[in-house]
Amino acid sequence: MNRIIRVLLIVGISFGSLTVQAQSARLRAANKQFDNLSYLSAVRAYEEFLRADKKKDAAESQEALTKLGYSYRKLQDTRNAERIYAELVKGYTDLDSEIYLYYAQALAQNGKYRESQKMYSQYGEKQGQDLRGRRYTVSYMDMSRFYQDSSSYRLSSLPINSRQADFSPMYYKGGLVFVSARDESGVVKRVFSWNQTPFLDMYFHSDTNQLHVPNADVKTRSTSAAVLGGGAEAKEMATNEAADPNQPLTKAEIFSRTLNTKYHEGPMTFTRDQNTIVFTRNNTSKGKAGKSSDGIKKLKLYSSVNSGGKWVDIKEVPFNSNEYSVGHPAFAPDDSKLYFVSDMPGGYGGTDLYVVEYNNGQWGTPVNLGKEINTEGNEMFPFVDANGNLYFSSDGHEGLGGLDVFFAELRDGIAYKGVQNVGAPVNSEKDDFGFITDKYRTTGYFSSNRKKGVSDDDIYAFRRACKQLNILVFDSKTGSPIESADVRILRNGSNQDLRITNVDGRAEICVEANTDYEFRAVKEGYALNSVRFSTLTQSAKPVLSVSIYLERTESTLVRGVVKTEVNQQPAAGVKVTLRNEKDKSEQTVMTGPDGGYEFNMKPGAPYTLTAQKDRYATKRTQYNKVKKKDKIVTDSLGLYGVGDVFQLKNIYYDLNKFFIRADAAKELDHVLEILKEYPQMQIELRSHTDSRATDTYNIRLSENRARAALDYLVSRGVNAKRLVARGYGESEIVNGCIDGVNCSEDDHQQNRRTEFKILAVQ
């Protein structure tokens, strides 16, 4: 596998237990290549050392075999890694426990699951604190769960794949940006010492329509793994791919000559408007490589913005470090968070997944995603779909071998249903990673080295056949189909999509395997009703059906959407409760990606509608006694969240003044209303100036302006302890009117503004 961006994240292993003594010249030469991370050269040197003298010292032989096995492991040559680890386990007894782990992993990657299970069991006996030994021993007793949905998938190798590594695709403007080690100039001028392959750059193919998977049944073909330095011939392995092996390479262009350098770049992610990129790159400064204290070039994340078609303003994210790597970025669908990978101290394993808040270009503090996601192994290559759910690759969760792709439904950042293996054929015994998809996982792309296993990452497209379910809605009295009824889809207890029935009273969805569904039908003039459906058991029928019968009612239908006030986007994961204040009964639902909710409200009773979510102010709406004639009530709820920043658009100041103008007072009265509605809310009043005058003067002026806003609110009855006033001077200009730029008075006035930021809620 030529995935350098991955292997640079994991470079450490201790060989301190090996005997240190005078070494032969051949062994010293091999160790020098190994210490320099030149694993291809180290393999050749160790193989030569082991062949050269059959009477060599046993301790030297063990050291050479241990480092040779580790070198093959780093080169992703699983056949030879298995060969070397088998020789170690057979010939030596005083082995570190990791040898049994690496042997088990190599066996699994070569499809030898029974033998792998035995090695995992031995590893578990020697290293009881690492749960992988126990988990994999149990998992490999029954492999069927990895193949439950495999017949639904069709795969195809993409024509953009080259002879070098191609991996980690990402959607961009109707095409794909991806990472490649290709050198399209025809002359390889720079190679990476790790495995003697070109450095990585970002490339772009502009039209995914040219890369679609054919609908016809795919054919399997066999390949054999390349070997290096000896070893058994690989067994045949079906790849389930439809691409012609002789197809010409589809042209892909360099994504950006500004972003690509002579070092490694990629993987990457884009904001929703695709005008900001965050990408992985070797630690560099002004074109020179930086190193950690142990001499390793770590990975860092960099951001850039698109201006006039060019990527400019390249800068590091603030949580980079010279001492550990961060990489593999993935934005949440609303750009509020960035997921990434790091081996920073304090993690659970080799590399862990982290999340950091992102708000108007400002970064929060990274948070580890926790032990539900992260293991003693390596988690990497995150991707978040349009529903806000997480895909990632791991060699620590139970899988088919190497890196497998996993899925986790997130609620408030927690994988509340655990982690699911996506299964075959997306996953194989080799490394599978860099997975991206649509919100229904019907189409998408991923990377794998399944074809040969050595220096051979390719990008694959997939299409998943629809297991169709018809949801039929009828009038319970007449039996007639009900047209234009809303069908709310709940998956594993949480709201998802909303479908509308046609003239036949039918709505259609594609159901997923191993999932519990609830379908709730909603129609004005009818009482809500629902039906449950599960795919935990398989059905051979190509099309399935469920029916929902609705009864006429005098109840009122309450429906709406929960949105975040800061950007007016639908809010998922919000607990919405409708409470009948007369009989104290409650109805509760958790919002999905569209933020929607629906309830029945009986007439003649007062109700309270409440929306709750962690780190957001609780929103309550009161309804008086509803009359029978009120058939439907529509009410959208807005949530204020910690960290949200709101610009008070009408608060401007005269030049060099800080008193509150009449137009500003009206806007501050709006803030006053918010603070009265949420008596526990604390805010920061943030004032800014234009760029004229000195920095010191502007800081003082902005502090006075923020204080004036604070004094105004205090004079209207707000407790001063709930308010913080801070001046930012000219440090956050919004329109480019910085020192030396000629701007109109109206442009300058846009910078003389006040914002408020929510610091705490309850």
Question: For the segment 314-345, what is each residue's pLDDT rounded down to a tens digit?
Answer: 999 999 999 999 999 999 998 999 999 999 99
Work out the pLDDT band at 143, boundaries 50, 70, 90.
very high
- In degrees and rounded to multiples of 5, residue 668 shows phi and psi of -70, -30
pLDDT > 70: percent of the chain: 84
Domain boundaries, the chain: 4-147, 150-214+249-464, 466-553, 554-641, 645-760
What integer best gives the mean pLDDT of the chain?
Answer: 85
Residue 3 pLDDT > 90: no
Per the model's pLDDT, the better-predicted residue between 655 and 666 turns out to be: 666
CA dist., res. 572 & res. 592, Å (int): 5
What separation in angstroms does the CA of 285 have from each of 194, 281, 293, 315, 322?
Answer: 22, 11, 16, 10, 11
Question: For the segment 233-262, what is each residue's pLDDT rounded down to a tens digit?
Answer: 333 333 444 444 445 556 788 999 889 888
Beta-strand runs (E) in 265-384: 265-270, 276-282, 284-285, 288-289, 299-307, 310-316, 326-331, 337-342, 352-359, 362-363, 367-368, 379-384
Contact 308, 269 (CB under 8 A): no
Residue 445 pLDDT > 70: yes
Cβ-proximal residues to 438 (8 Å cutoff; 6+ apart), any chain:
385, 386, 444
CA dist., res. 453 & res. 448, Å (int): 9
Cβ-proximal residues to 741 (8 Å cutoff; 6+ apart), any chain:
691
pLDDT of residue 13: 44
- When pLDDT is averaged across residues 291-299 and rounded to a whole number, the result is 73
Residue 198 pLDDT > 80: no
Question: For the segment 96-141, what is each residue's pLDDT rounded down to a tens digit?
Answer: 999 999 999 999 999 999 999 999 999 999 998 899 999 999 999 9
CATH architecture of 150-214+249-464: 6 Propeller (2.120)
Q: Of 177-186, 312-321, 535-544, which one has max mean pLDDT?
A: 312-321
Three-state SS for 219-262 is CCCEECCCCCCCCCCCCCEECCECCCCCCCCCCCEECCCCCCCC
- When pLDDT is averaged across residues 517-531 and rounded to a whole number, the result is 94
Residue 545 pLDDT > 90: yes
Question: Exposed (0-12), middle (13-18) or buried (19+): which is 129, by Cβ within 10 Å?
Answer: exposed
Per the model's pLDDT, the better-predicted residue between 753 and 445 turns out to be: 445
Phi/psi-derived region of residue 115, left when phi > 0, alpha when psi is between -120 and 50, beta in every other case? alpha
- Answer whether CATH 1.10.260.40 is correct for domain 4-147: no
Pairing of strands 222-223, 237-238: antiparallel
Question: For the segment 662-691, what is each residue's pLDDT rounded down to a tens digit?
Answer: 667 788 888 999 999 999 999 999 988 888
pLDDT > 90: percent of the chain: 55
Question: For the segment 642-652, what is each residue's pLDDT rounded down to a tens digit?
Answer: 989 888 765 55
Question: For the segment 348-374, what is each residue's pLDDT rounded down to a tens digit?
Answer: 999 999 999 998 788 999 999 999 999
Contact 634, 559 (CB under 8 A): yes
pLDDT of residue 230: 31
Residue 476 pLDDT > 50: yes
Q: Has this prediction a pTM greater than 0.85?
A: no
Question: Exposed (0-12), middle (13-18) or buried (19+): which is 593, by Cβ within 10 Å?
Answer: buried
Residue 19 pLDDT > 50: no
- Structure tokens, 4: 């350098």
Cβ-proximal residues to 200 (8 Å cutoff; 6+ apart), any chain:
4, 5, 165, 179, 180, 181, 264, 265, 266
Same fold yes or no, 466-553 and 554-641: yes
- When pLDDT is averaged across residues 194-199 and rounded to a whole number, the result is 60
Q: Of 50-64, 498-512, 736-750, which one has max mean pLDDT?
A: 498-512
Per the model's pLDDT, the better-predicted residue between 116 and 692 turns out to be: 116
Residues 383-398: b if buried by 16+ CB within 10 A, e if exposed: bbbebbbbbbbbbbbb
CATH architecture of 554-641: Sandwich (2.60)
pLDDT of residue 226: 28
Contact 523, 508 (CB under 8 A): no
Work out the pLDDT band at 150, boundaries 50, 70, 90.
confident
What separation in angstroms does the CA of 472 have from each of 476, 505, 549, 660?
Answer: 12, 6, 8, 61
Per the model's pLDDT, the better-predicted residue between 110 and 708 turns out to be: 110
Q: Which fold has domain 466-553?
A: Immunoglobulin-like (2.60.40)
Work out the pLDDT band at 211, boundaries 50, 70, 90.
confident
CA dist., res. 234 & res. 338, Å (int): 40
Residue 453 pLDDT > 60: no
Residue 692 pLDDT > 90: no
Question: For the segment 411-433, what is each residue's pLDDT rounded down to a tens digit?
Answer: 778 888 899 999 999 999 999 99
Domain 645-760: which CATH number of 3.30.70.2740, 3.40.50.300, 3.40.228.10, 3.30.1330.60: 3.30.1330.60
pLDDT of residue 227: 28
Question: For the segment 69-102, what is each residue's pLDDT rounded down to a tens digit?
Answer: 999 998 889 999 999 999 999 999 889 999 999 9
Work out the pLDDT band at 232, boundaries 50, 70, 90.
very low
